[in-house]
Amino acid sequence: MTSAVPGVPASELSGGDLFAAWPSIVATLGALHQLDPRGCPFDRGLGQMLARARDVVARSAVNPDFLSETDRPVPPAMLLAQVESEIPACLEAEAHERVVCHGDATMPNLMVDPVTLRCTGFVDLGRMGTADPYVDFSLMLANAGEAWTSEAQARHAFETLFRELGIDRPDHGRLDFYLRLDPLTWG
């Protein structure tokens, strides 16, 4: 069920306000991930993402603005080959941890009440579906990272995300993997 979501995009908050709203944002993402994935009719898994990336790369439609600075000079076909080499390990993780994901959990798509700094919901659910939760974690952390005013804030936000979601050992490899794959799927 969808409806209008009150509030402002988290991307419009100051770094301090985003930091204050972060626990509520994490809790809202956690609630989405707790939905029964068997009840979600949409597949956003690695197979779908990889097929999309192959199509975008084959059409030479990768938007360089979505790539990290270090990846911009690398030909998209090479970036895709690097990502594909990590597929087996990520498929295994996805099989054990599949959840309902937003699919584009970036700050413009997370709504926050600007007074209470509580997350009120999500917008732009066009990429929603069942997938590895690290799809959402990678985008959320990278996008919010642009707002943090210090390394201490970034570290605290990272720790809060995984602590609140009950993940003792964050998988940095999967965070990096999805952060490199996602830009290849837009185009």
20-45: b (≥16 Cβ within 10 Å) or e: ebbbbbbebbeebbeeebeebebebb
Q: Residue with structure tokens 């029964």? A: 36
| pLDDT value at residue 4 | 86
Structure tokens at 91: 């498929």
The yes-or-no answer on residue 71 being catalytic is: no
CATH architecture of 8-185: Alpha-Beta Complex (3.90)
pLDDT in tens, the chain (187 residues): 567 899 999 999 999 999 999 999 999 999 999 999 999 999 999 999 999 999 999 999 999 999 999 999 999 999 999 999 999 999 999 999 999 999 999 999 999 999 999 999 999 999 999 999 999 999 999 999 999 989 999 999 999 999 999 999 999 999 999 999 999 999 9
Closest C-alpha among 121, 115, 118 to residue 29 = 121
| pLDDT value at residue 2 | 67
| pLDDT value at residue 3 | 76
Structure tokens at 5: 């979501």
φ and ψ at 120, to 5 degrees?
-105, -10
Q: Is 4 helix (H, G, I), strand (E, B) or coil?
A: coil
Ordered strands of the 8-9 beta sheet? 8-9, 110-112, 119-122
Contact 7, 141 (CB under 8 A): no
| pLDDT value at residue 1 | 59
Between CA 14 and CA 18 the distance in angstroms is 6
Residue type, 138: S
17, 36, 55, 104: the active-site residue? 104
Task: Give me the residue spans of the domains in the chain.
Answer: 8-185
